[in-house]
Structure 1
Amino acid sequence: MIELTIERWRAWAPGVDDPSDWAAWSASPRPLDDDGEQPSCDFVAPMQRRRLSRLARIVMHTAWPMCADDEQLPFVFASRHGETTRTFAMLDEIGREAPLSPTQFGLSVHNAIAGQWSILRGQRGESVAIAGEADTFEHAIVEAAALLGDGAPAVVVVIAEERPASAYDGWIDDVPFSYAVALRVSHADGSAEGPRWRLSLRGNTEGEPSAEGPHALRFVRALHDGAPLDHPWKTRRWTWQPVP
């Protein structure tokens, strides 16, 4: 069992960015049109910004406000599919026997975005990049709890997915649209302001089917509702509960 304080959070999806947008979406969730829209990330210098993929921009946009300029905080980046768009473009180049860009290859690896965060923010501490199954979000929280247990005052956690190319239709079916959710989490000891949540894990002995929709976005709805949330996945059953 893990207890955390959610000091602050931010989310992004096409056409849904500010708190009022997310409050409206949480009250009436709906599929969103994903036409390739991406955050501008004007806070990043132009020469550095040009190297950011769409997924990286989404991550930076949501995570940037979670950390003050003078803070050194651990960073957890979680994505089931990662830089699928960039990787698919490189596979297309291979198919056309075109030369591959070493820069593009280097930025396609799963921990590249965590590395870009460290460089852009001047972060010298721990960074973790993970990929899992549909419960990648919960595994990211477990990583954050481990970092808190190791002495970190707070941890920045981001889970992000980009809608993959149409070639993956029928193979990747858990990213209805591009999105990111960033959380700043800390100990649930009353030292920081924010809602406290408890995450527990038990076996999915009832064989309940998986929850519909990305877990991170369902948690955004729970943040607005303040209601418990179950996330069954295969043999695992994750339960989120608000702590009074």
Structure 2
Amino acid sequence: MKFAIEKCVAWYGNIRTTEDWQLWAKGELEYSPEDDLPPLKQIPPMQRRRLSPFAKFSFHCILESLGNNISDIPCVFSSRHGDLHKTAKLIEDVATKSDLSPTNFGLSVHNAVAGLYSIFAKNKQAMTAISAGEDSLMMAVVDAYAKLESQNLDQVLVVYTDQIVPEQYNQFVSDKEQTLAIAFVLSKAQSDSSMSLSFEPQTANHQEDESFQPLEFLKFIHGKNTTAAIQSTRYQWQMSRNLL
């Protein structure tokens, strides 16, 4: 698969701008968690109040990545856990026999952010939601590339978001997972900015990798290396740049 990535925007604690990510990729800026949320002043207050932190991280990256081109681009949204904080609250309400909020339930599903974005941007293009475990981001890239080729599209927006899971779920996830949102536009390969992605099933004797796949992806995007091997339990991913 060969493609180009246009303006990748990511929110990760104190690391937010392109310059931040470039410094981080070189080891010159350390990550530290931050509690503030994106202001999203371009979104009307009535709509902004409906957005959870998960949705706000997503919207920030989308709007910064797209600029004015928000209404006519197909989208692929991805997340390993979805808005699990909202889902966990609903489960607690069920356990305590409290009334469930239909709004909270509707906004807890995996494609909720896609729907909210579609309403805000009046974007009527096709949108999909991907959840593929630790491979959620990379499988979103695969899905976006398939759309580019099969539908002869020029661009597809790719969005990935996850938060640190609620405390009761900590035992089920790697401690490498952090709150992170990413958005970028995937487009047809260009000779001066092309990238290549391939993957194959993981070998039987593979040692479990403790890295956080989205961060490895961002390290490659913003770093200087021409190749990167990104491992998961199920797949070996290979990325390279400028192969045309």
**TM norm. shorter chain > 0.5:** yes
When residues 141 and 175 of structure 1 are mapped into structure 2, their CA distance, relative to the original with a 3 A threshold, is same
The amino acid that maps onto 1:121 is: A
Q: After alignment, is 134-143 or 89-98 more displaced?
A: 89-98
* Map of 1:100 onto structure 2: 100
Note the 1:1-244 alignment, pairs <5 A.
Answer: 2-28=1-27, 30=30, 32-33=32-33, 36-67=35-66, 68-69=68-69, 71-149=71-149, 150-173=151-174, 176-190=177-191, 195-205=193-203, 207-227=205-225, 228-244=227-243
Q: Could you give the per-residue CA deviations for residues 118-152 of structure 1, whole angstroms, max 9, x where no partner exists?
A: 11111001101010121111110111011111122
Deviations 1:54-96 (A, max 9, x none): 1110000001133334651111110000010001111122222
Q: Partner amino acid for 1:154? A: Q
Q: Look up the SS of the partner of 1:201 in the other structure.
A: strand
Stretch deviating more after TM superposition (217-226 or 53-62): 217-226
Secondary structure, in 3 states, of the residue corresponding to 1:22?
Answer: helix
SS at match of 2:199: strand
Query: Secondary structure in 2 aligned to 1:99?
Result: coil
Note if contact 1:163-1:178 (Cα within 8 Å) is conserved in structure 2. yes
Report the CA distance shift for 1:101/1:197 in structure 2 as closer, same or farther (over 3 A).
Answer: same
Q: In 2 relative to 1, CA 187–77 (structure 1 residues): closer, same or farther, beyond 3 Å?
A: same
SS in 2 for 1:134: helix
Superimposed CA distance per residue, residues 192-220 of structure 1 (whole angstroms, 9 cap, x where no aligned partner): xx732100012323633344332222111
Shift, 1:224, TM fit:
2.3
Superposed CA RMSD: 1.9
Q: Taking structure 1 as reference, are residues 66 and 41 closer, same or farther at Cα in structure 2, changes over 3 Å only? A: same
Separation in 1 of the partners of 2:234 and 2:96?
A: 42
Q: C-alpha separation between the residues in 1 aligned to 2:177 and 2:140? A: 21
TM-score, normalised by the number of residues in structure 2? 0.90
**Bigger mean CA deviation after superposition, 76-85 or 24-33:** 24-33
Go from structure 1 to structure 2 and tell me whether the alpha carbon gap of 1:174 and 1:76 turns closer, same or farther (over 3 Å shift): farther
**Aligned in 2, Cα 1:47/1:33: closer, same or farther, shift over 3 Å?**
same
Change (3 A) 1:135 1:17: same
Query: Where does structure 2 lack aligned partners over 5 or more consecutive residues?
Result: none
Change (3 A) 1:5 1:212: same
Gaps of 5+ in 1: none
CA distance in 2, matches of 1:171, 1:161: 15
**CA distance 1:175–1:156, shift in 2 (3 Å):** farther
Is the 1:226–1:242 contact (alpha carbons within 8 Å) kept by the matching residues of 2?
no
Q: CA deviation at 1:108?
A: 0.4
Aligned length: 239
